[in-house]
Each structure stands twice: as C-alpha cells, then as structure tokens.
Amino acid sequence: MSELMWFRNDLRVRDNPALSAAMEAGPTVAVFCVSTHQWRSHDVGDIRLAFLLRSIEALRAELEKLNVPLRVLNTPRFSQVPDALVALCKTLGTQRIYYNDEYPLNERQRDVSTDKRLATIGVTSIRSAGTVILPPGDVLTGDARPYTVYTPFRKRWGEHVHAGAIAALPVPTPQKTLPIESDPLPDDIEGVSSVLMADEWPAGEVIAQELLERFIDERGRLYKDQRDLPGVKGTSTLSHHLSVGSISPHACLRVAAAANDGQLRGNNEGLNTWVNEIVWREFYRHIIAQFDHVSKGASFRRDYDSIKWRQSPDDLAAWQKGETGYPLVDAAMRCLNATGWMHNRLRMVAAMFLTKHLLIDWREGERYFMNQLIDGDFASNNGGWQWSASTGTDAAPYFRIFNPASQGKKFDPKGLFTRRWVPELAGVPDKFLFEAPTREGTSYMEPIVDHKHARQRALDLFKAR
C-alpha cells in the first residue's frame, strides 16, 4: 500500500506541498499523465512539449534520489484520466492521492471527475496550492468578491503575504526503496523529440534555481530600468520554468526578499518591480479560477464580444511571419518563431499591433503565441492578450494604441535587438530605423497599414461596439 503523488505543472521535489504531504504520510509512488491530444487542443506547441518532456526527465532524476518511482500513464484526453488513475490506485493499493491544484476550467473539471471516480473505490484526494502563493478565493474585496483590477489585488495580496510566510519546504527525506519500477519515459510526443532546442532551453529544477540566483545576483537590482529593453538581458527568463513548475513562485519571492532587506518590498526598486510581476502571475490565476467564461474563449469584459474583428488571413500571416513593415513588430515575431520566446515588452507591442492596427481578433494571436511559446501558460497568455486588446481585467483603455515606431525608438534606440532579427535593416541609420526604414533602399517591405489610419480605424471600431 502506498501514497500516490500526481504531478502536473509542478515538476519539482523542492517547495512541493503535495509531494511533502504524501511522503510524510507514507511510502510514495509518483505518477504523471501524458495528455497529448488535450494539450494540442489547448494549442500547446512543439517547443513547449519538448521542454515538458525534458522537465519530466529531470523530475525523474530528482525522484530517484528520493527512491520514489515514477509511473507514466498515457491518457490522451483529460476524460481518460479518472479511469487510468483508478486502475493505478487499485494496482498499488492506494487510499490517498495528492496533487497541487490547477486553475483553467478543463483542468478543474478533470480534477472534479477524478476525485468522484476515486471516491467510489475509497481513495481520498488531498489537494494543495503549490502553484500560487495564495489560492483563488483567499484575496477578495470587502464584499467578498474577486478583484478584477490589479492594483487593489496587489495591495490586499500584500496584506496576507510577507517574507516569513513563504518559508521553504524542506526536500523530503529519501524513503526506503519500493519494489516498484519507474515507467520508461516516451522518447517523443507525437513525433516531437525531447532534444528539440535542448541546448537553448535546459530543463529541471536545478537549472531553474541556478537561473533564479544568477538573475537576482547579477540583474535583479537593475530590473526596473532594464526590463523593457529587448536588446539587453534584463529579465529573469524564468517564465518557462514557472510554466511547468520546475521552480515555485515561493522560491522566487524568497530569493528576491533575501536580497532586498529581507522584505518583499524593500529599498531596491528593481527587486520590488520584479516581485510585482510575480503577483501579476498570481492575479491572472485567480481570474481564470473565478471567472469560467475566460476559459471558454470569451472576453473577460463580455460587452467586448460584440466587436466586429476583421477577417484578413493575409494580414494575420504577415504578422505571424514578421513581415508587417514595422521593424520592432517584425523583429519580435521572428525572434518568437526562431527561439520560442519573446520579451514581455514586445509581447505587448506585437499583441497591440495585431488587435489595434490590424483589428484581428485577439484570440488568433493568443492561439499563435500559445503554439509558439516555450513558456506557453494559459492564464498569463490570455491575461496579456486581453490586456493588449482592451477586453480583459485591468486592461489598457481602448484608446491606448502603441505606436510601434515610438516603442522602437524608446526601448531599442540603437536597434540592437531589431537589427539582429531584421538583418535587412543592418545598414539603416538609427534615425530612420523605425520611422522610415525603406527610404534607405533596403529590401525591407513597406508597412502593411499606416499607423495614423490604423489608429483612427481602431478608435472608430471600439466606439461603435
């Protein structure tokens, strides 16, 4: 008889409350369910699948140190998970299963179904909140409603959370070896090999912890000043590890606080600003947990579902390929397509260009980003797209429309990032790079839409909704 730890997007042994609870209760076996068809239906792309495979491989290596065998179940769709876990529990003689909550609607429905099925054979589900600092429902307004604006959410969240509340969970003590073998991991998922971009994106909690500490030591104090500059390595590049849970938000906050007077808001504004970004991540998780329509493809602000978005496959394709005639937008999209990652400032610029300049439905962009990003995460991706499209929580007002040329001059003034990804512009002087790059006789394309015209068109559309 053994405890069963069900891993999902919490692929680590450190700071994992569900794993700690299981191993404290008794001999533990771990399980991971490979739900490829379901992930694909959620627009998870090749690079994200490959990174997931590597993260599971790294997790298994850590579990081996604890003598915890890892079973791997093939459950192509979430609907197949309950029966598969019931069968495993019967085989192992399990009476308790442990897991950390996930918050998108399909995942919550899977968990409800699983809990009910397991209960029929006498298995108890023990749930933890290992992917957020405070679970949804713990941060509410005075009249017990969810927050829909970030700033008051951040203030109330801060009233509950302090440095002492995010103490590290110790790594569990290794257990006695069990007479149970780990399952072999798949070499690929639907033909996607774990070696895809493995050198560029190494996986596992050891790598993630090293990245975190290096960021805090070397760049954290400059984060406020450098985070918007794509030509500078100014961000933590931890988002892909957070997306699969190879590092916890608790660890991020602990290390930041330790370097900032022991406080989550200390004297260093760079670290304070980075902590705010972790809280934004929390905020979007609370939103999807408490407003089901967001997981169903609807605008958070339902009145914006009446917008008549343009249907333009050619413009959408130009945006996807980085061929819009706007250097910063094109550099961002080409970087995404080549590396699976995009700087956060550029995510906003690219998203607002698609939704405001081209008036293409934000869902098209959300879907494309999710398919291309190594850090594809439904809550954060959806939240960012709806912010840019002015349809979401705490969104940019519809009349805020980034000028891509102004954004380029402000955040990439020397073109360090832009010229790297749009080499056609290598010889264009700085003063023409973003405003009139084609006047220098390059092979670069003309803009597919005029900014002034596009801005007025967007204002008219949003006013008429």
Question: What is the 3-state secondary structure of 195-233?
Answer: CCCCCCCCCCHHHHHHHHHHHHHHCHHHHHHHCCCCCCC
Which of 46-60, 279-293, 425-439 is predicted least confidently?
Answer: 425-439
- What is the rounded distance in angstroms from the CA atom of residue 5 to the CA atom of residue 61? 16
Q: What is the predicted pLDDT for the residue at 419?
A: 96
CB 264 within 8 A of CB 164: no
List, for residues 331-373, the tens digit of each pLDDT value: 999 999 999 999 999 999 999 999 999 999 999 999 999 999 9
- Tokens 């902590």 — which residue? 275
* pLDDT score, position 238: 98
Residues with active-site annotation: 277, 280, 309, 344, 362, 385
pLDDT at residue 396 greater than cutoff 90: no
pTM to 2 decimal places? 0.96
Place of tokens 């900014």: 451
Q: Which is more confidently placed, 186 or 274?
A: 274
Q: How many CA atoms lie within 13 A of 117 on its CB side?
A: 18
pLDDT value at residue 41:
96
Structure tokens at 235: 């961000």
Mean pLDDT across 376-400? 93
Q: Following CA atoms 202, 208, 213, 215 in sequence, which dihedral angle do they give, to the nearest 10 degrees? A: 60
pLDDT band at 410 (very low <50, low <70, confident <90, very high): very high
**CA–CA dist 139, 152 (Å, integer):** 10
Q: Is the pLDDT of residue 63 over 90?
A: yes
Q: Specify the CATH number for 302-463; select among 3.30.70.20, 3.30.365.10, 3.40.50.720, 1.10.579.10.
A: 1.10.579.10
Q: Which two tokens stand for residue 439?
A: 């006047």
Question: Which CATH architecture best describes the domain 3-130?
Answer: 3-Layer(aba) Sandwich (3.40)
Q: Where are the domains of the chain?
A: 3-130, 132-167+204-290, 302-463
Distance CA 138, CA 127 (A): 16
- Contact yes or no for 207/12 (Cβ under 8 A): no
Averaged pLDDT for residues 224-252: 97
**CA–CA separation, 153 and 134 (whole Å):** 12
Does the structural domain 132-167+204-290 have CATH classification 1.25.40.80? yes
> Does residue 165 carry a pLDDT above 80?
no
- 338-344, Cβ contacts within 8 angstroms, sequence gap of 24 or more: 338/421, 339/197, 339/200, 340/45, 340/47, 340/48, 340/197, 340/201, 340/372, 340/373, 340/374, 341/237, 341/240, 341/373, 341/374, 341/375, 342/369, 342/373, 343/230, 343/235, 343/417, 344/227, 344/235
CB 334 within 8 A of CB 322: yes
Angle at the Cα of 363 from the Cα atoms of 360 and 366, rounded to 5 degrees: 110
- Reported as a single tens digit per residue, the pLDDT across 425-458 is 999 999 999 987 877 778 899 999 999 999 999 9
Q: How confident is the model at residue 1 (pLDDT cuts 50, 70, 90)?
A: confident
pLDDT at 306: 92
Same fold, 3-130 and 302-463: no
